Structures are given as structure tokens and as C-alpha cells.
Amino acid sequence: MINPKNPQLNKNGELVHLLSTEGLSRAILTQILDTASNFVSVSDREVKKVPLLRGKSVFNLFFENSTRTRTTFDIAATRLSADVYTLDIARSSTAKGESLLDTIANLSAMAADIFVVRHSESGAPYLIAQHVAPHVHVVNAGDGRHAHPTQGLLDMYTIRHYKKDFTNLSVAIVGDVLHSRVARSDIHALTTLGCPDVRVVGPRTLVPSDLSHMGVRVCHTLEEGIKDCDVVITLRLQNERMSGALLPSSQEYFKSFGLTTERLRWAKPDAIVMHPGPINRGVEIDSAVADGPQSVILPQVTFGIAVRMAVMSIVAGNVA
């Protein structure tokens, strides 16, 4: 049975779905990160596979397209030896007017084990999780502006890898925080893991002051935002924001908030620079920084496979 207080957990408090980093305890976040660290080496092996999910059926349900994220889940599931089915949702029965829950009921009847769900509507993975059989697991691969928990977790993995301990870190999240499910997932995870100083940085249109209720410090200049930070997480600036009323232009944005080598000196000398990708060179980040010695953008990608392997293997081992 799903825990009524937290639909991600069963009544023993074990993770059965991953829907959000919000509501996960420090113990569970740490369990995921520890499990992931065992999987990092799998991708370096001669044979990059472990048989943990052999014969399990993982369905990629990407109602919102994302080739890159889908591929990372595909790789993670395959390296766990699962069978992966990717549905071309745009062409499928939902397009014929079938409801989301009827689609899910049908796929469950085909003996699905894990649904990896990306959806433009916030909450869609929750809705699905509430309706699947106890042996079926839902992993949120991004829902609306709400959450992108595996990205949040791989960010935590990356920070822990380079900085060891969260309890004395200053972390700055720079960019379009208002619309970013990545920022939201990072903030919840950082707070739970004991990070004492989380800052959100950007223009008022993208980083409104009331974000402070999430337990973060709101900064409207880059200098204040990344001053003496240990970690700078730059967010992707969605092109669709540029032409809107929220931002005058991408050049203007870069002038004020683009991360350059010079500005990065405001942060600590050993600060790491992160980005969820794909990067817009010359918009939110300068190439010299993205490709520079403080950048850990590509290690994030590598750790992302291990974190997704960890999440899928953990939920598959628990019953709702």
C-alpha cells in the first residue's frame, strides 16, 4: 500500500516510486547516492551490464519529447539488463483519444514493471502512480515545471563527489529558476541534505522574491549570488523565454548573468560549475567556463546514468 502521506513510499517507508525530491528523507536520498556510487564503475567495465533487472520490462512514456533524457534512462535500464520499450506516444492510442489512465492500465496488463514518465503537465506521474498495481513503479523524468528528480539526484551525486559534505556548502542556482523543474528538485534535495546556504540568482522576472519561502536566498546580481560559493549550478535558458516579455534578449541576459571566467572568480577558487545541459554557449555560460577546469558538466552526465540505475534498481526491489 502506498503511504497516504507520501505517495513515493510504501508503508514501511521504502521508495516505490520516484516522483520528486520533495518529501524524501535524508536517509533515502543518501541510499540512492550510495547505490549510485556502486553503479558508476559498471559503465567502465568491459561488459557494461549487471543482471539486476533481467527480464523486467521498462516502458519509456515520454509525452513530452526529450531524446537526451530518454536515452539516459534507456542506457540505465539496459545496463541493468532490463528490456526497454519506447512508445511513440505522439502516434499512439492517447492520440486516438484514449485517456492517460487507460493507456497505463493497458500497458500494466502487458506486465510492465517500471514506467519512466515525462509529461508537460505537472503531477501526471503522481496520477499514474496512484493508479498502478503494487508491483509497478513510476519514475518521473520531468513533469511540467514541477520536478525533475533524477536530475536533482545526479546533481547531488556530483556535488557530493567533488565536495564530500553538504553541511558546510554554499550553492548558487543561476538562471530561470521560476520555470525550472531542475532548480526545484535541486533546492529540495540540497535543503534535506543539510546544505546551509542555497541561493537563487537571476533577474526579477525569472527569480521573484517570493522564492525565498523555499528556504533559499534570492539574489538579483550575479556577484552577490555566487560570491564565495562552492558550487554554481547554471540553468539552461529556454529559447521560448527570450522572445517573451520576461527577457529582452539572450545577449542582455549574458551581459548580466552569463558565467564567464572573470565572474567565476567571485566564487571560491575551487568552486565547481554545473549545468543540466544542453548548454547554450554564450548565453548562460561562456565556452571558456563550460570547457574549463572547474566545469563538471560532463561528469554530471556520467553520474546521471549511475543515478538512474540506482533509482530503478531500488524501486524495483520494493512493493507498494
Task: Tell which one of 12, 25, 65, 130 touches its own copies (CB under 8 A).
Answer: 65
Q: Which of residues 16-55 bind its own copies (CB under 8 A)?
A: 43-49, 54-55
Which residue in 106, 120, 130, 212 binds its own copies (CB under 8 A)?
106
At how many degrees (to 10) do helices 26-40 and 297-316 cross?
Answer: 110
Give the length of the chain.
Answer: 320
Strand pairing class (6-10; 2-3):
antiparallel
Q: Which of 100-108, 123-131, 149-157, 203-211 is the region at the interface with its own copies (rule: CB under 8 A)?
A: 100-108
**Residues flagged as binding site for L-aspartate:** 96, 181, 236
Q: Which residues pair with 59 in a beta bridge?
A: 85, 115
Which residue number, 23 or 277, has a Cβ lying nearer to its own copies?
A: 277
| 89 makes contact with its own copies (CB under 8 A) | yes
192 binds its own copies (CB under 8 A): no
**How many Cβ atoms sit within 10 Å of the Cβ of residue 49?**
13
Stretch that binds its own copies, among 8-16, 18-26, 157-165, 294-302 (CB under 8 A): 294-302
The dihedral through the CA atoms of 96, 136, 88, 63 has a sign that is: positive
Question: Does residue 110 touch its own copies according to CB under 8 A?
Answer: yes
Binding mask 232-271 for its own copies (x = CB under 8 A): -------x--------------------------------
Longest dimension (CA), the chain: 57
CB of 71 to its own copies, least distance (A): 6
**Nearest one of 118, 24, 102 to 70, comparing CA atoms:** 118
Contacts for 11 with CB less than 8 Å, ≥ 6 apart: 1, 3
Is 220 in contact with 193 (CB distance < 8 Å)? no
302 in contact with its own copies (CB under 8 A): yes
CB 56 within 8 A of CB 113: yes
Footprint on this chain of its own copies (rule: CB under 8 A): 43-49, 54-57, 65, 67-68, 71-72, 74-75, 78-79, 83, 85, 87-89, 91-93, 96-99, 102-103, 105-111, 239, 277-281, 298-299, 301-302, 304-305
